[in-house]
Amino acid sequence: MFPWLSVIVLLPLVACLVIPFLSEKNGGAQIKWFTLVVALVDFLLMVAAFYLHYDPSSPGMQLVERYVWVAPVGLEWSLGVDGLSMPLVLLTGFITTLAVVASWPVTLRPKFFFFLMLIMLTGMAGVFMVQDMVLFFLFWELELIPVYLLLAIWGGYGRLYAATKFILYTALSSLFILVVGLALYFQAGTLNMVALSNKTYPITFQLLCFAGLFIAYAVKLPIFPFHTWLPDAHGEATAPVHMLLAGILLKMGGYALIRMNVGFFPDATRYFAPVLIGLGIINIIYAALTSFAQPNLKRKIAYSSISHMGFVLIGIGSLTEIGMNGAMLQMVSHGLIGASLFFLVGATYDRTHTLILKQMGGIAEKMPRIFTMFTVCSFASLALPGMSGFVAELMVFIGMATSPAYNDPFKALVVFLAAVGVILTPIYLLSMLREIFYSKLNHDVLHEEDLVDAEPRELFVIGCLLVPIFGIGLYPKLTTDMYEATTTHLVQMTKERFQQPVAALPPALQAVFNPDPVAKTQKISSSMKTGTAE
């Protein structure tokens, strides 16, 4: 069988070696076209692999490739995709291709810039495909270096501080992945992630490993209080780096949290599930309030990303199939919406030369197309019905509200607090639109000759992002069918592997769990069949 996944992962890495031999004339046009062709071919290979060889109805690993790498320790070149990884692999190829298009204005050291972009594509795609713990760690680390350099060289005035903070947070926290991977190897005798997910571990070992991996992925997602690197990074990044950070890198944390923490450690998951939900609520409300207070446009959108990632945590912590499906859909949806908003932030900055909201205003008449696109993408971010964000958040709410694992007072409190975050979102997004586009033009800061409306390249990028945003919003099965079989199987298997009864949990956790989830499930099912409700 053709090694689809190996080619997809290695093609950008091999292609980046050609870039040093290309010409930098005409602003590096040859380099840009070469990088775009490589990224597009890689994305088309992802699409071809999906349509030709991926079966969405199968929950198991597909397109598996296993080659012995270091035999004495069992290290393998092991790749595979399932419902957790395939949607994110496609998202990676799609967003990266558009990020290359967004990079067209780059003229400073174009060879190095696009060299790093291709290395990032290999690193990000590899994270979602590899099935070996050490290999996963290597790909996780691989994408850190390009991000650091892209921030440090092409970022804003505070780029060195932001880049250093990013590398310190992410590199140090990712050491937990290596430590836990080695611990699993000594405990289970294998590094293969599929085999590790089928093993049973002592509860203390599960709790320690879950906590270690959680720290690593909490930084990447990011989760309060490990989130502070993100506003700084977004505050200094360029538009294409924004798109990769918001569109793909944050999703690596959510993916790994589901793949490893939930998949490997079911008992620890039940211990930590209420904690995940609590942190999700903090993410939603705290980040929304902080976003409302931000005077800087990039930092405002960055905090909105942190807020939206809270729904991923609640969906995972709900311990239900629909909640997990909502968490997956939220990652895909936010990848598209976050990339579109940050691209428009970059386009707006190129014209206004300021990120301070109080210095903007009155530019809607001068740039009606950018105004329209910014408004539509902001509506998508506040989860307007008909767009992907609405469906994702609704699934998370339903998953939490109908979870048989928790008692009714706890579920009601979670739903209420999450709804508060939903109410806060349109407040800060609509006020942001008002400050940017309405009122009078600030002639002291803005110059009318610079306020040129969107060009065809920018219309193309936003158009490509809006198609799936509306498509998923109107017909969610376009995406949910890709992963529903896998997430359903994962949740069911996790429940079946629970060894610790609710009574064995600490009293503080016992208070939120329903002592008889089986009876609760039957009661909910009966109510749904008869059309009655409690």
Q: What share of the chain is helix, strand, coil (3-state, %, to 5)?
A: 75, 5, 20
- pLDDT over 70, % of the chain: 96
Distance between CA 113 and CA 138 in Å, rounded? Answer: 22
pLDDT band at 525, cuts 50/70/90?
Answer: very low
The more confident residue out of 533 and 434 is 434
Distance between CA 346 and CA 240 in Å, rounded? Answer: 9
Distance between CA 123 and CA 79 in Å, rounded? Answer: 13
Sequence-ordered list of residues with C-beta below 8 angstroms from that of 225, at least 6 positions apart, any chain: none
Res 524: pLDDT: 45
Owner of token pair 């199939």: 321
Owner of token pair 């780059």: 106
Assigned token pair, 181? 């991977």
Closest by CA to 35, choosing from 142, 118, 121, is 118
Task: Reduce the DSSP state of residue 367 to 3 states and report it.
Answer: coil
Sequence-ordered list of residues with C-beta below 8 angstroms from that of 45, at least 6 positions apart, any chain: 4, 7, 8, 11
Cβ(472)–Cβ(332) under 8 Å?
yes
Res 517: pLDDT: 62
Q: Given a cut of 70, is residue 528 above it in pLDDT?
A: no
Task: Reduce the DSSP state of residue 85 to 3 states and report it.
Answer: coil
Distances (CA, A) of 333 to 220, 251, 387, 481: 17, 11, 9, 15
Compute the average pLDDT of residues 511-532.
58
Closest by CA to 256, choosing from 104, 151, 122, 126, is 126
The pLDDT tens digits for 258-270 are 999 999 999 999 8
Distance between CA 512 and CA 81 in Å, rounded? Answer: 35
Averaged pLDDT of the chain:
89
3-state secondary structure 415-455: HHHHHHHHHHHHHHHHHHHHHHHCCCCCCCCCCHHHCCCCC
The pLDDT tens digits for 143-185 are 889 999 999 999 888 889 999 999 999 888 889 999 999 999 9
The pLDDT tens digits for 322-367 are 999 999 999 999 999 999 999 999 999 888 888 888 888 888 888 9
Res 529: pLDDT: 47
Instruction: List the Cα angle 289/298/309 in 5-degree steps.
Output: 55
The pLDDT tens digits for 221-263 are 889 888 888 888 888 888 899 899 989 998 999 999 999 999 9
- CB crowding 66-96: b at 16 or more within 10 Å, else e: eeeeeeeebbbbbbbbbbbbbbbbbbbbbbb
Predicted TM-score (pTM) of this structure: 0.93
- pLDDT over 90, % of the chain: 60
In the beta sheet, which residues pair with residue 78?
A: 66
Res 414: pLDDT: 93
Cβ(248)–Cβ(342) under 8 Å?
no
> With 0-12 CB in 10 A as exposed, 13-18 as middle and 19+ as buried, what is 496?
exposed
In the beta sheet, which residues pair with residue 77?
A: 67
Cβ(219)–Cβ(173) under 8 Å?
yes
Task: Reduce the DSSP state of residue 78 to 3 states and report it.
Answer: strand
Assigned token pair, 87? 């949607």
Cβ(309)–Cβ(249) under 8 Å?
no
Task: Reduce the DSSP state of residue 358 to 3 states and report it.
Answer: helix
Residue 442 CB neighbours (<10 A): 15
Closest by CA to 100, choosing from 24, 18, 37, is 37
Q: Given a cut of 50, is residue 435 above it in pLDDT?
A: yes
